[in-house]
A and B are shown apart, each in its own frame.
Chain A
Amino acid sequence: DTGVSQDPRHKITKRGQNVTFRCDPISEHNRLYWYRQTLGQGPEFLTYFQNEAQLEKSRLLSDRFSAERPKGSFSTLEIQRTEQGDSAMYLCASSHPAPSYNEQFFGPGTRLTVL
């Protein structure tokens, strides 16, 4: 199977540390998306890839955030020098590229707590 998986599911870190999250999309999906969700809010789009190309990254929250998808399969989201305000759920989703704007299938998320 086959849903979108994310690792780890929970991460607790101290302010100033770097963290990296991994997302494995559904295997035949070549679009992959990252979102952040804070309590009581809807997911906030961060960036997305089509295969290994990062097609939109202007919505990344700051230059401390970066994402990669080197082989067009799994992706990583890194946050450097974490701050308490980075505490949130980080969601990954994947979709087929065609037809455009197909439904995105979401993973279970990684909950980050920055102490």
Chain B
Amino acid sequence: AQKVTQAQTEISVVEKEDVTLDCVYETRDTTYYLFWYKQPPSGELVFLIRRNSFDEQNEISGRYSWNFQKSTSSFNFTITASQVVDSAVYFCALSGLNDMRFGAGTRLTVKP
């Protein structure tokens, strides 16, 4: 069975701090995909990144970076120099053959 665990339910930081959101997954598939989505207060899920299980290169996009480590089954997400607009719920997700499993989400609050 597939499972995604986001142990941090809520995180609160002050603007300009760096913050890391943790994601640990379980799967028996050898080929799978990992995703991060953002759900701002407006409610619509916004795609951030997709990684496949064969590509462990870390990725940086502006203030966002992702650290994929197969050895620890983790796919962590770091926001550098956080901003108030980063406040949202962030979901990690795992895609197998026929479905997508989401974690319970981490609510990030960035205070000015």
Contact code string B21-61 (vs A, CB < 8 Å = 1, else 0)? 00000000000010101000001111100101000000000
Minimum CB–CB distance for A67 against chain B, Å: 14
Count of chain B residues with a beta carbon within 8 Å of a chain A beta carbon:
22
A104 in contact (CB, < 8 A): yes
What residue in chain A is nearest B42 (Cβ atoms)?
Answer: A108
Residue of B nearest to A4 (CB): B44
Residue among A48, A59, A108 making CB contact with B44, cutoff 8 Å = A108
Residue ranges of B at the interface with A (Cβ–Cβ < 8 Å) = 4, 33, 35, 37, 43-47, 50, 52, 91, 93, 95, 98-105
The 8 closest A-B pairs by CB, nearest first: A42-B102, A106-B45, A101-B33, A103-B47, A56-B98, A45-B99, A101-B95, A42-B91
Report whether A42 and B104 are in contact in the complex, using a CB–CB cutoff of 8 Å: yes
